[in-house]
Structures are given as structure tokens and as C-alpha cells.
Amino acid sequence: MSEFEGVEDTLFIPLTARITVSKNFPEYFFDQKALEMEDLIKDKKIDENSTQYSIIANVARSYNLDRMTEEFIDKHGKCNIVNLGVGLETSYYRIDGKNALFFEVDLLK
């Protein structure tokens, strides 16, 4: 059983997926910052308890959000990007922000 439950667990699931796909399918999705954060994952069972489908689906969401954000930045130039519930999200590092200003907010306990 994980020592993380609820909100805490949701931080590690997407990060684990991005690490797994970056290692196994870097031609599809590569997240250098997620790989650098791999040591933050104390519960290795997250990866073991996930199906390949759920891992790929999770990363597909990140991939698509990255593309939509990049298109928005390209269209609007200087703009603000607000990412709510950011957790351990690394999109800021994956996206060429150009003139965009990123605001990333999460719940603090």
C-alpha cells in the first residue's frame, strides 16, 4: 500500500507516466525535467500498478496540452499561461514559452 493517498498520490501518477514514456518511447514524448525528478518518487509501486494503456493515455494528455499551449502562444505572442493544480507538472520546461509568462498554482496544506 502506498504511503501517499488522495491528493498526494495524484502528484506522482502523471510524473511516473512521463518518466516511463520518456525512457521507453522518447521519440513520442521526452521530458528531461521529469527524468531529473525521478528520485522524488518514493513509491515505485505506482509504475508497477499502472497499465501501459493508462501510462500512455496520461502522457497523451500532456502531449496534447503542450501542443495546444504552444499554438496559443504562437497565436497570441506575449501572453499569460495559467496552470491550475500543477502538482509536479513539468510543462513549463517542455514548452518553448517565448514571450509567455507562466503562472503555476497548486494546493498547499
Q: Name the 3-class secondary structure at 81.
A: strand
Average pLDDT over the chain reads 86
Return the pLDDT at 45: 73
* DSSP H helices in 1-109: 7-24, 32-36, 45-48, 52-76, 91-94
CB 46 within 8 A of CB 12: yes
In 3D, which of 109, 107, 2 has the Cα closest to residue 50? 2
Q: Is the pLDDT of residue 1 over 50?
A: no
Whether the full predicted model's pTM is greater than 0.75, yes or no, is yes
Return the pLDDT at 44: 63
Over residues 47-68, the mean pLDDT reads 90
Percent of the chain past pLDDT 70, that is, above it, reads: 87
Residues 43-52 have pLDDT tens digits of 667 777 788 8
Q: Is the pLDDT of residue 97 over 80?
A: no
If one compares 67 and 46, the residue with the highest pLDDT of the two is 67
Strand partners, 82: 103
